[in-house]
């Protein structure tokens, strides 16, 4: 089917169209770098309660669009709402990030239940329904979930910032046991994403932030295989919805990820070489990325140079401009403004 000229640019790019000015959004575009986010955030102590408050979640989702006119809004929530909905204890501790009661046995896995998702995450679905009525006409709405491997890492380690050693060793020592957790997360994630689409998400992204710590065999088993299954299930219920995968820091394995999983788009970390991405990945799917979030933090000439290089290398094919990882907390908002200006002005800003 031909894409329509009046279709949202973000969706056109995900159908494989090359746009002269690529669409853009930023991972963590809503967040603490924005004073208006900190203002709203200060109304709730508990971060999960904040995610489950539709009034506040709708507001902070829209904040970055008002300033920078991104081509997509991403639902404001977190990947750890899934362990919370499954029945694991999850807390966000000021200054420490997420803390979970670690899952270390099959009996703990057996205590989790996919059946609670619809009720527990009802406020998230309400946020999506309201956003689909409120975002600008040309803006697309992105839903998301953590990929099973990355969510399992948090569930097993009980926190972030580790080398994922407990999860990796459990996966080697008892793949049948660890596989039970991954299977449960495949089921939960597919159901969660399908329900997001039914409530207004037009695209979904799977965040596999810890994909890069795995060996090749383990990457195939815990990243590629579960992603294949989730893509299959989501496409069976919602054939038209594009899916973006983000196997962060997967290196050369990005190629197999793209070839085998059936994703429509792939989000690339800043370590992926641009010419290789263009020649190897972009011929197979839409590529998204991959400005270094530290270049955005630094601003100035480095930001301009890095941004224009990415635009030059990747805007000749299906491409969505993004960062290689989320916006950092102390990023000056005016640097994001400069980035938006460079992209909105492209190709005029290219300078030839
Ligand atoms: O704007 C958006 O991108 C949408 C919202 C969003 C958040 N988290 C909000 C958030 C999205 C898509 C995420 C994804 C997420 N959450 C990932 C995958 C992407 C990545 O960054 O690798 C991961 C690993 C998490 C888990 C998580 N959530 C951690 C480790 C932390 C603590 C670290 C930190 O920055 O504080 C969070 C908290 C969180 N999620 C915040 C936001 C805006 C900050 C919390 C606050 O405002 O108090």
What is the DSSP secondary-structure string of 80-131? THHHHHHT--EEEETTTEEEE----SHHHHHT--GGGHHHHTHHHHHHHHHH
**Nearest protein Cα to ligand 1, atom 9:** 78
Read off the tokens for 112.
């989790």
Reported as a pLDDT band with limits 50, 70 and 90, residue 221 is very high
Please give the distance, rounded to the nearest whole angstrom, from the Cα atom of residue 211 to the centre of ligand 1: 17
Question: How many Å apart are CA 183 and CA 256, to the nearest integer?
Answer: 21
If you ran DSSP here, which 8-state letter would residue 278 be given?
Answer: I
pLDDT the model gives residue 351: 54
Q: Would residue 322 count as lying in a domain?
A: yes
Please give the distance, rounded to the nearest whole angstrom, from the Cα atom of residue 51 to the centre of ligand 1: 11
Read off the tokens for 140.
């697309």
Residue 349: pLDDT over 80: no
Which residues are 8's β-sheet partners? none
Q: Would residue 349 count as lying in a domain?
A: no
Q: Would residue 53 count as lying in a domain?
A: yes
Active site residue 28: yes
Question: How many Å apart are CA 227 and CA 131, to the nearest integer?
Answer: 27
pLDDT the model gives residue 250: 98
Q: Identify whether the C-beta of residue 22 lies closer than 8 Å to the C-beta of residue 344.
A: no
Q: Identify whether the C-beta of residue 9 lies closer than 8 Å to the C-beta of residue 319.
A: no
Q: Would residue 305 count as lying in a domain?
A: yes
Element at 190 (helix H, strand E): helix 175-198
Read off the tokens for 28.
């963590």
Residue 12: pLDDT over 80: yes
Question: How many Å apart are CA 220 and CA 202, to the nearest integer?
Answer: 28
Q: Identify whether the C-beta of residue 204 lies closer than 8 Å to the C-beta of residue 243.
A: yes
CATH number for the domain spanning 36: value is 3.20.20.210
Please give the torsion angle defined by the CA atoms of residues 315, 319, 320 and 324, in that order, rounded to the nearest 10 degrees. -90
pLDDT the model gives residue 6: 82
Question: How many Å apart are CA 185 and CA 206, to the nearest integer?
Answer: 12
CA angle at 225 for the pair 223 and 229, rounded to the nearest 5°: 115
What are φ and ψ of residue 204, in 5° steps?
-130, 145
pLDDT the model gives residue 304: 98
Q: Identify whether the C-beta of residue 81 lies closer than 8 Å to the C-beta of residue 100.
A: no
Active site residue 284: no
Q: Identify whether the C-beta of residue 352 lies closer than 8 Å to the C-beta of residue 319.
A: no
What are φ and ψ of residue 98, in 5° steps?
-75, 140
Q: Would residue 352 count as lying in a domain?
A: no
Residue 28: pLDDT over 60: yes
Q: Would residue 117 count as lying in a domain?
A: yes
Domain that holds residue 127: 3-344
Instruction: Please name which of 303, 346, 331 lies closest in space to residue 64, comparing C-alpha atoms.
Output: 331
Coil/strand/helix, residue 265 = strand
Residue 80 CA: nearest ligand 1 atom is 26
Read off the tokens for 70.
């991104």
Read off the tokens for 95.
């200054």
pLDDT by residue (tens digit) across 82-132? 999 999 999 999 889 999 999 999 999 999 999 999 999 999 999 999 999
Residue 231: pLDDT over 90: yes
Residue 300: pLDDT over 70: yes
Mean pLDDT across 280-305: 98
Residue 1: pLDDT over 90: no
Please give the distance, rounded to the nearest whole angstrom, from the Cα atom of residue 170 to the centre of ligand 1: 25
Question: How many Å apart are CA 115 and CA 194, to the nearest integer?
Answer: 14
**Nearest protein Cα to ligand 1, atom 17:** 79
pLDDT by residue (tens digit) across 307-340? 999 999 999 999 999 999 999 999 999 999 999 9
Q: Would residue 222 count as lying in a domain?
A: yes
Active site residue 116: no
* Domain total of the chain: 1
Residues in the chain: 352
Q: Would residue 351 count as lying in a domain?
A: no
Q: For the chain, what is the mean pLDDT?
A: 97
> Which of 25, 26, 27, 28 best tests ligand 1's pocket when mutated (most atoms within 8 Å of CB)?
28
Which residues contact residue 252 at a Cβ distance below 8 angstroms, ignoring those fewer than 6 apart?
none
Active site residue 305: no
Residue 5: pLDDT over 70: no
Active site residue 304: no
Mean pLDDT across 22-47: 97
The angle, 0 to 180 degrees and rounded to 10, between the axes of the packed helices 165-173 and 175-198 is 120
Coil/strand/helix, residue 289 = strand
Residue 350: pLDDT over 80: no
Handedness of CA 105, 222, 239, 54 (dihedral sign): positive
């Amino acid at each position: 089917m031909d894409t329509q000229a009046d279709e949202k640019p973000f969706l056109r790019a995900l159908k494989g169209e090359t746009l002269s000015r690529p669409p853009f959004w930023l991972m963590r575009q809503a967040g603490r770098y924005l004073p208006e986010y900190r203002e709203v955030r200060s109304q709730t102590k508990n971060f999960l309660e904040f995610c489950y408050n539709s009034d506040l979640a709708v507001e902070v989702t829209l904040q970055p669009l008002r300033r920078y006119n991104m081509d997509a809004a991403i639902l404001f929530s977190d990947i750890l709402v899934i362990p919370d909905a499954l029945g694991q204890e999850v807390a966000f501790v000021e200054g420490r990030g997420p803390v979970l009661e670690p899952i270390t046995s099959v009996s703990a896995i057996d205590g989790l239940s996919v059946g609670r998702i619809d009720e527990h995450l009802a406020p998230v679905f309400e946020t999506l329904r309201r956003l689909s009525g409120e975002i600008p006409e040309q803006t697309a709405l992105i839903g998301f979930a953590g990929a099973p491997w990355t969510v399992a890492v948090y569930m097993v380690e009980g926190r972030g910032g580790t080398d994922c050693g407990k999860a990796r060793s459990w996966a080697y020592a008892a793949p049948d046991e660890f596989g039970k957790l991954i299977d449960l997360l495949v089921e939960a994630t597919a159901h969660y994403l399908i329900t997001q689409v039914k409530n207004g998400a037009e695209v979904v992204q799977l965040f596999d932030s810890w994909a890069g710590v795995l060996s090749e065999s383990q990457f195939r088993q815990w990243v590629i295989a579960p992603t294949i299954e989730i893509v299959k299930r989501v496409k069976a219920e919602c054939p038209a919805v594009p899916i973006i995968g983000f196997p962060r820091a997967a290196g050369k394995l990005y190629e197999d990820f793209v070839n085998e999983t059936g994703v429509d788009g792939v989000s690339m970390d800043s370590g992926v070489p641009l010419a290789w991405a263009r020649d190897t990945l972009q011929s197979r799917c839409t590529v998204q990325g991959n400005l270094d979030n530290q270049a955005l933090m630094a601003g100035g000439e480095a930001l301009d140079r890095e941004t224009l290089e990415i635009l030059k290398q990747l805007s000749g094919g299906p491409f969505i401009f993004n960062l290689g990882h989320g916006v950092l907390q102390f990023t000056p908002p005016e640097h994001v403004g400069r980035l938006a200006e460079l992209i909105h002005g492209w190709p005029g800003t290219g300078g030839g």
